Amino acid sequence: MSAEHNLIELDDHDRQSAGRTAPVRLVAKRGRNVRLVAAFVVGVVLGGIGAGELRDSREERERNASVSLVAFPASVGSGGSDATGILQMDGQLAVINAGPAPITVSSATGQRPAVQVHDTGQSRLLRPGGTGWISVKLRIECTLAFGSEPLSIRFSVQTADRQVREVSYPVAVAGSAWHHGAERPCAGLADSAMYRD
């Protein structure tokens, strides 16, 4: 036996062992990187979905809480007058829901010198874009009622989120259906006042 074979080369064994484990470590490292990237992508996707849901929920709450309406005098009905030149009539106020969610209009009142309006206590559910007619009582002082100043009508409105909000809308009375409906009775009041004098 020669002396060459009796020597154990420790350095060779480490090189062979290192050569075999290096690819295993590289594969494990790549696998870990792939898992980290996959976890990151899943986190981004879930975060994006969560943020989108939160934004949608907030937008829906804002939409359900918003009130946008338009109102105008729609018609005038029967009524009577007293000796002081005050005309009391029934009428209707048309209300259009210009907002994005349904609303329930529960009251409508307005007052300025010579004109008073109040609803008769009936609520109206209005879908988005829908129109409802609210029955009102009108009190009109004929000599002063029909100036150019609009009448601010205050509405009590329940929104889709079940909150009650107060909103106002300026309604033009001059030239309206209420004005035209009151002209003849007011003229009759003026004539009777002239005959009394």
What is the per-residue pLDDT for 195? 45
Three-class SS state of 67: coil
pLDDT tens for each residue of 88-109:
999 999 999 999 899 999 999 9
Q: How far is CA 118 from the centre of its chain?
A: 25
What is the per-residue pLDDT for 85? 75
Residue-averaged pLDDT of the chain: 78
pLDDT band at residue 25, thresholds of 50, 70 and 90?
low
Structure tokens at 108: 């409508």
Give 9 or 126, the one with higher predicted confidence. Answer: 126
How many whole angstroms separate alpha carbon 97 and alpha carbon 116?
23
Model confidence at 120: pLDDT above 80:
yes
pTM of the model: 0.64
How many whole angstroms separate alpha carbon 16 and alpha carbon 38?
34
Q: What is 179-191 written as a DSSP string?
A: HHHHHHHHHHHHH
pLDDT band at residue 133, thresholds of 50, 70 and 90?
very high
pLDDT band at residue 197, thresholds of 50, 70 and 90?
very low
pLDDT tens for each residue of 139-180:
988 877 677 788 999 999 999 888 999 999 999 988 899 988
pLDDT band at residue 183, thresholds of 50, 70 and 90?
confident
